[in-house]
């Protein structure tokens, strides 16, 4: 946890410590050693290095294709927001003002009004939508933005919480509340699909409680993932903003019946935080494990070349060319290092498949494929595949690896999702970080505050109650089911 006010140098990591022993140490060691990020010379900010950016590009591509398939277009709104605009939606500014960075000087000119660096863009989007929307014919507006945003946080950690971060923020405006609600569920489902089917991180979806809601929203829905230390991580949110922002920023339209109405708006976002979940959920003591769909490099060829084995090098290069021609994201590692060091290096970087290729393999007409998702010595972890079949087998293996990683993560989540009815046990689970503690809950902020004060746990999200029950935390009548957990 980086808490100092001065920027630090990126620590030099020699060995990756045990994940089970100290998740936080392990996590930061992996982030730095795998060259995902470096600490920047600005307090609380990181540099996303090429390998980390490769992960982000994969996530971007998967999200962006789905946003477009659901009718959205990209746009770009300004970084700076005048203070007088930010303060128009009262709840919103109350929620964000304490963590806003302010520009007060431009060149040699002292500004007459402070400009906020966007912590999120509902405000500036609201002002523009008011200009663009006149008639019901102008609706819906379905826009997404890929952007950097800034929140002046005290304690930071790569990917999970930094002053500046990269994300996407969708902003839509609709003629009716129903359409807005549909949009919000549609995008929550897009996020769930990407989290589970692409990043292989299983999530629990539901509605945020009033106290955990986005500042200014009528309803906030979230994806919650469970980290190995029993803490929850909010992986994405989707907000029904009701008419709060359209009233504050004057997004009005002439309806078909000629009445003037306020639009119903939504917003939804996923950030590079999702990469933090990927690292923590899948990594092990050897380093990163990247699900194939997220891997900048799906497979790496390590030729085991001894003096005079030019044939091996040539055959390995041919294999590399063939696999690339087959559309696979493959690298060949011809560095002047010992094979064992290369194996460890690519394991640490989490590449899903390693292709070992030496004189024996060449003789036998095979390549040796090693799966990163399996333990050393585990059945099916090491396969000798005839050279002619490698290009066809890899995609199949990648599918298996993807599925296996999701299954492993799902097993952990299920084993640590605890449906509890006993009050004492509930508080103990919360305190001990036993996972997602699922209870019938009254829904009252006062009750949530007591749980938080006693255990540090909060509601992650809620869903409808199946049958009448009493609140496991306080004994009042329950109104929802809720997952409680300590969180990142």
Residues at the interface with a second copy (CB under 8 A): 7, 9-10, 38, 40-42, 45-50, 52-54, 56-57, 73-82, 85, 98-109, 114-115, 117, 124, 127-128, 131-132, 143, 147-148, 150, 152, 163-164, 166
First-last CA distance in the chain: 12
Q: Which is nearer to a second copy, 105 or 178 (CB)?
A: 105
Q: Which residue has the tokens 């007409």?
A: 365
State the DSSP string of 169-201.
EEEEEESSHHHHHHHHHHHHHHHHHIIIIIS--
Q: Which is nearer to a second copy, 42 or 407 (CB)?
A: 42
Q: Which is nearer to a second copy, 328 or 369 (CB)?
A: 328
Long-range contacts, stretch 327-332, CB < 8 angstroms, 24+ apart = 328/298, 328/299, 328/391, 328/394, 328/395, 329/295, 329/296, 329/297, 329/298, 329/299, 330/297, 330/298, 330/299, 330/300, 330/301, 331/297, 331/299, 331/300, 331/301, 332/300, 332/301, 332/302, 332/303
Q: Which is nearer to a second copy, 131 or 432 (CB)?
A: 131
The one-character DSSP state at 287 is: B
**Is the distance from CB of 37 to CB of 48 less than 8 angstroms?**
yes
The CA distance from 289 to 86, in Å, is 41
CB of 93 to a second copy, least distance (A): 13
H or E segment and range at residue 353: strand 353-357
CB of 372 to a second copy, least distance (A): 22
CB of 132 to a second copy, least distance (A): 7
Q: Which of 474, 410, 415 is nearest to 440 (CA)?
A: 474
Q: Which is nearer to a second copy, 163 or 362 (CB)?
A: 163
425-232-242-176 Cα dihedral, nearest 10 degrees: -100
Q: Which is nearer to a second copy, 142 or 385 (CB)?
A: 142
The one-character DSSP state at 158 is: T
The CA distance from 245 to 264, in Å, is 8
Q: Which residue has the tokens 């609201």?
A: 126
Q: Which is nearer to a second copy, 80 or 344 (CB)?
A: 80
Q: Rg of the chain over CA atoms, in angstroms?
A: 25
Within the chain, what is the greatest distance between any pair of CA atoms? 84
Q: Which is nearer to a second copy, 133 or 200 (CB)?
A: 133
Q: Which residue has the tokens 């800034």?
A: 150
CB of 470 to a second copy, least distance (A): 41
Q: Which is nearer to a second copy, 310 or 336 (CB)?
A: 336
CB of 171 to a second copy, least distance (A): 12
CB of 141 to a second copy, least distance (A): 9
Token digits of residue 425: 């046990």
CB of 199 to a second copy, least distance (A): 19
Q: Which is nearer to a second copy, 151 or 444 (CB)?
A: 151
CB of 294 to a second copy, least distance (A): 16
CB of 53 to a second copy, least distance (A): 5
CB of 237 to a second copy, least distance (A): 21
CB of 138 to a second copy, least distance (A): 11
The CA distance from 470 to 464, in Å, is 14
Q: Which is nearer to a second copy, 106 or 365 (CB)?
A: 106
CB of 333 to a second copy, least distance (A): 14
Q: Which of 185, 186, 183, 175 is nearest to 243 (CA)?
A: 175
21-23-26-31 Cα dihedral, nearest 10 degrees: 170
Q: Which is nearer to a second copy, 96 or 221 (CB)?
A: 96
The CA distance from 198 to 294, in Å, is 7
Q: Which is nearer to a second copy, 96 or 268 (CB)?
A: 96
CB of 150 to a second copy, least distance (A): 7
Token digits of residue 242: 């009701």
The CA distance from 213 to 149, in Å, is 19
């Amino acid at each position: 946890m980086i808490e100092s006010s001065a920027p630090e140098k990126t620590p030099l990591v020699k060995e990756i410590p045990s994940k089970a022993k100290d998740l936080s140490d392990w996590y930061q060691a992996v982030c730095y050693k795998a060259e995902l990020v470096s600490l920047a010379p600005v307090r609380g900010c990181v540099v996303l290095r090429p390998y980390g950016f490769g992960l982000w590009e994969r996530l971007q591509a998967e999200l962006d294709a789905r946003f477009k398939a659901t009718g959205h277009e990209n746009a770009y709104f300004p970084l700076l927001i005048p203070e007088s605009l930010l303060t128009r939606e009262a709840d919103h500014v109350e929620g964000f003002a304490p963590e806003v960075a302010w520009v007060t000087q431009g060149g040699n000119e002292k500004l007459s009004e402070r400009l906020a660096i966007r912590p999120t863009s509902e405000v500036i989007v609201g002002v523009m939508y008011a200009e663009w929307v006149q008639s019901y014919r102008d609706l819906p507006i379905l826009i997404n933005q890929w952007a950097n945003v800034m929140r002046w946080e005290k304690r930071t950690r790569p990917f999970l919480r930094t002053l500046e971060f990269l994300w996407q923020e969708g902003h839509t405006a609709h003629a009716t509340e129903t359409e807005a609600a549909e949009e919000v569920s549609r995008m929550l489902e897009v996020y769930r699909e990407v989290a589970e089917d692409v990043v292989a991180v299983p999530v629990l979806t539901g509605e945020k409680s009033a106290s955990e809601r986005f500042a200014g929203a009528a309803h906030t829905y979230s994806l919650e993932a469970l980290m190995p230390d029993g803490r929850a991580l909010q992986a994405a949110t989707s907000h029904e903003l009701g008419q709060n922002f359209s009233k504050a920023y004057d997004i009005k339209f002439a309806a078909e019946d000629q009445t003037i109405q306020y639009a119903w708006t939504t917003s939804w976002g996923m950030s590079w935080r999702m990469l933090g979940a990927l690292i923590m959920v899948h990594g092990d003591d050897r380093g990163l494990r990247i699900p194939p769909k997220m891997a900048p490099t799906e497979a790496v060829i390590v030729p085991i070349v001894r003096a005079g084995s030019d044939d091996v090098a040539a055959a390995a290069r041919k294999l590399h060319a063939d696999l690339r021609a087959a559309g696979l994201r493959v690298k060949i590692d011809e560095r002047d290092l010992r094979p064992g060091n290369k194996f460890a290096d690519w394991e640490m970087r989490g590449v899903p498949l390693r292709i070992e290729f030496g004189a024996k393999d060449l003789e036998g007409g095979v390549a040796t494929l090693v799966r990163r998702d399996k333990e050393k010595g585990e059945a099916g972890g090491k396969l000798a595949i005839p050279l002619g079949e490698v290009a066809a087998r890899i995609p199949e293996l990648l599918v298996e690896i993807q599925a296996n990683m999701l299954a492993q993560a799902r097993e952990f989540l299920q084993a640590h999702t605890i449906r509890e009815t006993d009050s004492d046990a509930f508080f103990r689970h919360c305190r001990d970080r036993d996972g997602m503690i699922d209870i019938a809950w009254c829904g009252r902020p006062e009750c949530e505050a007591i749980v938080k004060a006693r255990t540090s746990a909060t509601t992650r999200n809620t869903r409808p109650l199946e049958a009448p029950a009493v609140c496991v935390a306080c004994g009042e009548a329950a109104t929802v089911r809720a997952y409680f957990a300590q969180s990142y």
